[in-house]
Amino acid sequence: MAGSGEPGLYSRQLYVLGGGARRLAEASVLVSGLRGTGAQVAAALVLAGTGHVVLHDNEAARTADRAHQVVVLTESPLEEQLCIGDFCHAQGICFIVADTKGLAGQLFCDFGEDFVVEDPAEGDPVCAAVQHISQGNPGVVTCMGTEDSRGHPFCDGDLVTFSGVEGMTELNDQKPIPVHVLDAFRLEIGDTSSFSPYRLGGLVLQERLPQVHSYKSLCQALAEPKIQVASAEELLRSHNLHAAFQALHAFCREQGRLPRPRAQADAERVLELARSLRVQQGLLDENVVRAFASVSAGDLCPMAAVVGAMAAQEALKAITRKFLPLDQWLYFDALECLELEGAMQLTEEDCAPRGTRYDGQIAVFGAAFQEQLGHQKYLVVGAGAIGCELLKNFAMMGLAAGPGGDLTVTDMDTVALSNLHRQLLYRSSDISKPKSVVAAAAMQCMNPDVRVTAHQNQVGPATESVYGDDFFQRLNGVTSALDSLEARAYLEKRCLHCLTPLLDSGTEGPRGNVLAMVPFLTKPLEPPGVPRDGTFPFCTLRYFPRTIQHTLQWARDEFEGLFQLPAEHVNRFMKDPAFLEQLPAGKALEVLEQVQKSLQERPQNWQDCVHWAHRHWQSCYHNAIAQLLHTFPPEHESSPGVPFWTGDRICPHPLTFDPDNNTHLQYILATAHLFAQAHKVPPCSDQAATQTILRSTVLPPFQPQEELNIPLAEEQEEVQVPEDHGRLVKLTQDLVQKRQELLQGEEVQVPLMEPIYFEKDNDIHMDFITAASNLRAENYGIPPADWLMSKRIAGQIVPAIITTTAAVAGLACLEVYKLVWGCQDLKYYRNSNLWLSDCLLLRFQPLPPTTYWYGGREWSCWDRLEMQAVTADGQEMTVQEVLDWLQRTYGWTVTMLLHGYTVIYDKEEDEEIQARQQAQRLSENLKDARETQQLELLYVCEGEDAGASNRRPPLLCSLP
């Protein structure tokens, strides 16, 4: 069941498709045609958890087909498309056509005349805290910014509702109203002039209403095409492809076959048919049609991956009613591949079938190119979702499947349950096995000729002995399938240094991108931004939360503070009380008090655990809030006339415990279970018994503390109170005595407690986080988050779906073709941005490298000074000989030469030191320098300006 029977399996997908994904288990999809595109569609739908994926035979549409919610046709004649399209339109069945021919693809959707899209947008509805609302026509809402952005997240026309507003309470009961954005902090909301004056608080929440969309049948849409494009330039090209596909269907009817690869007569006949269609008189680009026809018999795995994945996403939209479907045509091509130097000259003989598994690829690129693919040496970093798709494509393409070929895949991770819905090389039996090993074995099952080696290493500074300069420099290319910004940045740096092409791919939910980094042609990849660490100011989390992210982070901190740290400290103390000496200054007393509390609270049975959980509930959700309101009452003013509870401070209210309240009970059950586990007491899952215990428990009434210091800003949190040394000594003595008593007891278990480390895939852990966060949110009037949303935020899970990863991998492999061809012209390479939620694909030329001037010459980031630091008799050059080479070759007088932070030569030293430096061999005094065949040196030249340090090309010296 997609998303309910096995939530761990489909959780990442549910974050993309929302609640509509639960319909997948009952859905039935008919897929007709099982060559590359159809196979990709079927695979994606099966992995997504679709209940029934029926593979269509060659029979005509019939009454039984009404059972299908979606029909997908691939490799289908136009007559069949029209017949089945009319049938589906009449029966209210969503109808999709997906087709690839060589280097071009076509996608069409007809979802009927009244298709309801329940949630058209990506991600969760947004919200913002209210700072002020004016009385007027229109009224103006002032919102406060969050840690993630400056200002509110709304757009013009968004529908919103209000909750928790005090004073202008009329807004809380209104139906969704549209907003007009004034600026980053202000929204207009209509007439509020008759409403009560705003006092404080409140949230403004985005409301998404269902949308109804209407689609034409294929017959109508063929003659009056509505084509989705990213630009006007693409629209013209798409119209040409629209005509070319129709002409190809006409050619097949006429000849009973597809055009022969590179057969000029066949291509000209397709062009004649395109002209005769009069689809777009005067706009037909004959070169596009000829190129399309000349390779239309080709069958390329990357093209099938892109078009098939996009078609599968449209089928998922039809079932889940999440995201806007395609309206109605989309065309995609990579015909630029035919313009590569030498590709246009391929003949019919070069591309004729050889009777091999690669004939579909040979039809496009020729037999010689296929041999070249087999010789490639590639590194795939990451064997997750994108990595699996890359490896699948490489196997089908025959990359590294010939003499001299070599494919290395490395990944430190093991297969997990949540991987299976989108990482197609893994099965349930592979769970806990190394991903790289399983993926390599699966790849060889697909193509036994592929020469693949599996590693379980991280590619980083610690493994440069394995993945050094020699390793990277022998590669033809690297593909990155990483989910870490730091790892991606490191890989880019290594490829830049070693002049190795890099294709970097990434996805997040329905979005994806591919970036090509080609030596000397493209600008290096943009360095990733610094990732947020998810931390918030202490005072915000403890006293003034305003978003569900705040309450979830508070719950995470609670988990660690209740079930991990106390157990760790108790165990360390029981093992060796002297561990306190290793703690940071000012922490010893806090840790000892925690140890004392844990030992005093040791439960004997489940009832003790429930009592403890109940007391902690009362402390967090009633007493702590009551204390805060005692210190700062609702009417409190920061200064005369300025309310304290305004702006980014939401005034809270205490909760009253109710054993029949589901959230209250779930908190007690999860908290008591974890407390029992930490203290090695058998837990109990009997809700009725737990409720009986709770009803018999009476807790003492709240007693406020006077003059309690509550920090109102982050700066106040940093003030440290000196430790009470006398209290520390006394507490240490008491605990040492208690330790001796415990160790002498026969029943004690060592270690005494079990630290529990948060794991997002553990349901009990997430039950605690969800309940703890939502109770905290209820205190402050913040909208709660369901279990899945809480898991995504608290577990920092990146939403993922098979369709996006498959399409991104296909786009990357199209660039691999160009690298293998040896393309040295920037205009043929493409970066890609993909939005499957909108069925939008944007491909664009990478930027060229920036250039700069140094030493009287123009350089780019790819340039370097390379010299053989070897004398005629095979010896390593001296420093003076290197200085002479720079003077002779570039006319530069070097004043300083360094290796890292080690100075090799400095002109400012006295003559004796200078002479000694100049006479020594280049690596003579460099630690570990003899372990490498190449030194990278830094230098400073006479007369250079202050900003030259960022513009010098590196000096690479090859050693004997």
Strand partners for 506: 513
Q: How many CB atoms lie within 10 A of CB 523?
A: 17
Q: Give me the DSSP letters along 766-803.
A: HHHHHHHHHHHHHHTTPPP--HHHHHHHHTTPPP--HH
Cα separation, 381 vs 376, whole angstroms: 16
145-166 b/e with 16+ CB inside 10 Å = b?
Answer: bbeeeebbbbeeebbbbbbbbb
Tokens, residue 847:
């930027």
415-430 b/e with 16+ CB inside 10 Å = b?
Answer: bbbbbbbbbbbbeeeb
Tokens, residue 153:
């997240």
Q: Torsion over CA of 45, 49, 55 and 61, rounded to 10 degrees?
A: -90
Whether cis (ω within 30° of 0) applies to the bond prior to 138 is: yes
Cα separation, 387 vs 403, whole angstroms: 24
Cα separation, 796 vs 794, whole angstroms: 5
**DSSP annotation of 26:** G
Instruction: State the Rg of the chain over Cα.
Output: 34
Q: Is 745 helix (H, G, I), strand (E, B) or coil?
A: coil
Nearest to 679 by CA among 557, 566, 560: 566
Please name the residues in contact with 604: beta carbons below 8 A apart, sequence gap of 6 or more. 681
Q: Give yes or no for a contact between 918 and 879, defined as CB atoms under 8 angstroms apart.
A: yes
Cα separation, 81 vs 72, whole angstroms: 10
Cα separation, 168 vs 136, whole angstroms: 12
How many CA atoms, within 13 angstroms, populate the side-chain half-sphere of residue 67?
11
- What is the CA angle 20-8-534, rounded to 5? 90
Q: Give yes or no for a contact between 410 and 381, defined as CB atoms under 8 angstroms apart.
A: yes
Q: Give yes or no for a contact between 232 and 334, defined as CB atoms under 8 angstroms apart.
A: no
Task: Give the length of the chain.
Answer: 960
Q: How far is CA 111 from CA 52, 86, 120, 147, 218, in A?
A: 19, 12, 15, 41, 11
Tokens, residue 581:
């000496």
Query: Which phi-psi region, left, alpha or beta, contains residue 342 (left: φ > 0; alpha: ψ -120 to 50)?
Result: left
Cα separation, 101 vs 249, whole angstroms: 11
Indicate which residues carry an active-site annotation.
539
Q: Give yes or no for a contact between 474 and 431, defined as CB atoms under 8 angstroms apart.
A: no
635-665 b/e with 16+ CB inside 10 Å = b?
Answer: eeeeeeeebbbbbebbbbebbebebeeebbb
Q: Torsion over CA of 316, 317, 318 and 319, rounded to 10 degrees?
A: 50
CA atoms 471, 477, 482, 488: torsion sign:
positive
Q: Give yes or no for a contact between 285 and 297, defined as CB atoms under 8 angstroms apart.
A: no
How many CA atoms, within 13 angstroms, populate the side-chain half-sphere of residue 810?
30
Q: How many CB atoms lie within 10 A of CB 53?
A: 20
φ, ψ dihedrals at 427, nearest 5°: -125, 170
Tokens, residue 173:
């009961």
Cα separation, 107 vs 331, whole angstroms: 6
